[in-house]
């Protein structure tokens, strides 16, 4: 009779514990027997008791799932008591056999962590986490402001005030002045049309024609409430901008050498109205990253750089050894599934974090550019696989470029030089002049130039 073989796995973390996070209680396991599992509450004193209990048994490292928002307070408390915390994704701990219970879950997490089979999730440093809180709160206010804008537009249509037809943005200079006057009781079309800004394409007569409404009081009441909500949200957004500006400049002042850094101006980079209100953000971002000019990359806007600053930060890039690891974390790298030597699937994993969304938006804007290194790459992929695949591929390329610039402290140096609009016009003018000179057989010496090269240099 053959002897049964017993396979033993080497224990990597000897003083390890596992915690099953819950909304009303936490189950902590320091071993595999039932006596090694204890239930604790979720109040502040309960979290301290967990740490003391773990330290009494010599526990030095703990693994737990990132369940909702319930893990954050316990994570901070464990860190304060000097216990290493491995915060893992729930999909790596859900394969326990048998009936699922909180006790079994905590023991299963403890077993996996003892064998070294769990990897920690990415967590930003404290400064980046604070900045992320401000930016995400600001994004929430922007969403609410956008909702109020849509409701204002709805009430304007109910009133038959077709302001959306005569102005490009009802929350622009012209639109907001007209809405404010309507809410204050002025319903005269000609008087409202006087608020037309000089940049508005439509004349006053057409604006007045669009503002003949039914003047129903219930719709005016709804419009007024949404207008007040919109102004309230704008105040909250400005308050977030002040906190973000204050935090970023405080970090820059910590290193006096960074304050001396200067970068070139980039007037071609358009500032979106929803961008963070920071004066000379191009210069501030250059100093924040210690001399790395991310704005030099075509397609990268103020919103893209702010997403990088708030979602990963400078220290976060150091946690990824290679650009491939960084792209894989962003879920921009293909997830190859191979069986029998054949690739069954190579789709990009599902899920989009805020940084991935920002890079994809930047990649999409690159697809609208012409004659640049990135846009040429975008065009080649789009020709073969379509625009959607080109956006993903260009976003991955952007992530690789950004990781290289920040970790290796190198400037952006594309093979094809990026020309601004005024430079493109200048080059086009030079080519046209040289073409006409060749057509009429005019030599450079005839107009006082030594050769054709000096002609291009003179322009």
Domain boundaries, the chain: 16-114, 128-240, 255-408, 421-458
Alpha-carbon distance of 85 to 66, in angstroms, equals 11
Cα distances (Å, whole numbers) of residue 35 to 24, 31, 38, 59, 235: 21, 8, 8, 16, 55
Report d(CA 211, CA 194) in Å as an integer: 12
What whole-number distance in Å separates Cα of residue 95 and Cα of residue 370?
50
CB 52 within 8 A of CB 96: no
- One digit per residue, the tens of pLDDT, for the chain of length 459 reads 456 666 677 888 889 999 999 989 999 999 988 899 999 999 999 999 999 999 999 999 999 988 888 899 999 999 999 999 999 888 777 766 677 888 888 999 999 999 988 888 888 889 999 999 999 999 999 999 999 999 999 999 999 999 989 998 899 899 999 999 999 999 999 999 999 988 888 999 999 999 998 989 999 999 999 999 999 999 999 999 999 999 999 999 998 888 888 988 887 788 888 889 888 899 999 999 999 999 999 889 999 999 999 999 999 999 999 999 999 999 998 887 777 778 777 788 787 889 999 999 999 999 998 888 899 999 999 999 999 999 999 999 999 999 999 999 999 988 766 555 666 677 778 778 888 878 777 777 777 665 544 444 444
Q: Which of 33, 86, 94, 34 is nearest to 59 (CA)?
A: 86
Residues across the chain: 459
The helix (run of H) or strand (run of E) holding residue 290 is none
Q: Shortest CA distance to 96 belongs to which of 78, 109, 83, 113? A: 109
- Give the tens place of pLDDT for each residue, 97-136: 677 888 888 999 999 999 988 888 888 889 999 999 999 9
Give me the residues paired with residue 337 across strands: 345
25: CB partners within 8 A, 6+ apart: 39, 40, 41, 42, 102
Provide the pLDDT for residue 444: 73
Coil, helix or strand for 301? coil
Just give the CATH number of 16-114. Answer: 3.30.420.40
The answer to whether 15 touches 58, Cβ cutoff 8 Å, is yes
pLDDT in tens, 23-52: 899 999 999 888 999 999 999 999 999 999
Close Cβ partners of 53 (under 8 Å, ≥ 6 residues apart): 28, 38, 40
């Amino acid at each position: 009779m053959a002897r049964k073989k017993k396979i033993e796995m080497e224990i990597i973390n000897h003083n390890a514990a596992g915690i099953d996070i819950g909304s009303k209680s936490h189950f902590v396991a320091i071993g595999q027997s039932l006596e090694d599992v204890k239930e604790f509450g979720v109040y502040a004193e309960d979290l301290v008791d967990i740490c003391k209990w773990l330290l009494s048994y010599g526990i030095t490292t703990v693994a737990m799932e990132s369940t909702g928002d319930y893990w954050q307070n316990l994570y901070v408390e464990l860190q304060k008591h000097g216990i290493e915390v491995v915060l893992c994704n729930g999909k790596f701990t859900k394969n326990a056999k048998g009936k699922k219970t909180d006790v079994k879950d905590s023991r299963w997490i403890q077993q996996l962590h003892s064998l070294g089979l769990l990897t920690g999730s990415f967590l930003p440093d404290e400064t980046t986490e604070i900045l992320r809180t401000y930016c995400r709160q600001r994004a929430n206010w922007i969403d609410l402001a956008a909702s109020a804008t849509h409701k204002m537009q709805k009430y304007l249509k109910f009133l038959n005030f077709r302001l959306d037809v005569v102005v490009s943005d009802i929350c622009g200079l012209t639109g907001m002045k007209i809405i404010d006057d309507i809410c204050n009781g002025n319903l005269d079309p000609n008087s409202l049309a006087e608020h037309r800004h000089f940049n508005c394409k439509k004349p006053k007569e057409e604006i007045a024609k669009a503002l003949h409404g039914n003047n129903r009081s219930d719709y005016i009441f709804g419009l007024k409430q949404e207008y007040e909500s919109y102004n309230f949200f704008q105040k909250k957004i400005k308050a977030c901008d002040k906190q973000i500006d204050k935090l970023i400049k405080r970090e820059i002042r910590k290193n006096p050498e960074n304050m001396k850094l200067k970068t070139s101006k980039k007037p071609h980079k358009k500032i979106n109205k929803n961008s963070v209100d920071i004066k000379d953000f191009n210069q501030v971002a250059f100093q924040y990253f210690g001399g790395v000019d991310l704005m030099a990359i075509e397609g990268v806007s103020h919103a893209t750089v702010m997403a990088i600053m708030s979602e990963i930060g400078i220290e976060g890039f150091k946690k990824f050894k290679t650009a491939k690891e960084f792209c894989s974390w962003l879920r921009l790298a293909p997830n190859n599934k191979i069986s029998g030597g054949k690739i069954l699937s190579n789709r990009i994993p599902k899920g989009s974090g805020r940084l991935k969304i920002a890079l994809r938006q930047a990649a999409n804007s690159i697809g609208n550019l012409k004659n640049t290194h990135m846009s040429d790459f975008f065009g080649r992929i789009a020709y073969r696989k379509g625009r959607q695949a080109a956006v993903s591929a260009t976003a991955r390329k952007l992530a690789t470029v950004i990781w290289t610039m920040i970790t290796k402290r190198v400037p952006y140096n594309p093979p094809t030089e990026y020309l601004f609009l005024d430079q493109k016009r200048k080059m086009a003018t030079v080519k046209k002049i040289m073409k006409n000179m060749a057509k009429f057989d005019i030599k450079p010496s005839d107009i006082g130039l030594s050769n054709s090269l000096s002609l291009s240099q003179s322009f």
